[in-house]
Amino acid sequence: MRGARPVLAAPAQAEPKGRRSGAGSPLPWSESELVGTMLSPEAERVLQYLVEVEELAEEVLADKRQIVDLDTKRNQNREGLRALQKDLSLSEDVMVCFGNMFIKMPHPQTKEMIEKDQDHLDKEIEKLRKQLKVKVNRLFEAQGKPELKGFNLNPLNQDELKALKIILKG
C-alpha cells in the first residue's frame, strides 16, 4: 500500500457550556440548554416525564445503597460487641478503631458506646426503609404501574399475636 495516507483522528471537541457529563445526571444535557431550544409541547411533556422518573429512581437507588452501607456498619459493630463479650477481663482497656486511628478505652465504656451506635443505626435503617417504601410508591405512580400489594404491611405486636392465637384455638 504505497502512498497510503495515515488516518488522522478528528480533534476532540470541547463540551458545550452547561453540559453535564453523565455523573449524577440522567441525561447528557442540562435543562438550561433545553430552554433555548424549541421543543413541541408533546416533546417537553415526555422529557419532563423522563427527568422526573429518573430523579425518583435515583432517590430509590441512593436510599438502597445507604441502607446497605449502614447495615455493613451494624454488622461490624455486632462483631465488635461479640469480641468484647468473649473477652472476660472487664478491668482492662480495649483498643478501638475510629477512622484511621486506634484509641485505648475502658471496656464498659466501649461496650456502651457500641450499643448506643447500634441503636442509632437500627433507627436510621428503619427510617430509611419507611422512606424507601414511600419513594418506591411514588416511582411506580410516576411510571403508571400499580401500587405493590402487601408492601406496606406491618408485623403484629405481642398483644395482637396473643389475641390471634386465642381466636385460632377457640
Could you state, in order of their start, the residue ranges of all structural domains in the chain? Answer: 41-144
Residue with cell 435503617: 125
Question: Considering the entire predicted model, what is its pTM?
Answer: 0.65
Q: Give the contacts of 57 (CB within 8 A, at least 6 positions apart).
A: 139
**What integer pLDDT is reported at residue 33 of this predicted model?**
62
CA end-to-end span of the chain = 96
pLDDT tens, N- to C-terminus, the chain (170 residues):
444 444 334 444 444 444 444 455 556 666 656 555 677 889 889 999 999 999 999 999 999 999 999 999 999 999 999 988 887 677 788 888 888 999 999 988 999 999 999 999 999 999 999 999 999 999 999 988 887 777 777 888 999 999 999 999 97
**What integer pLDDT is reported at residue 155 of this predicted model?**
82
Phi and psi (nearest 5°) for 94?
A: -120, 155
Which CATH fold topology does 41-144 show? Helix Hairpins (1.10.287)
Instruction: Decide: 111 and 84 in contact? Cβ < 8 Å.
Output: yes
Instruction: Decide: 56 and 139 in contact? Cβ < 8 Å.
Output: yes
**What integer pLDDT is reported at residue 118 of this predicted model?**
97
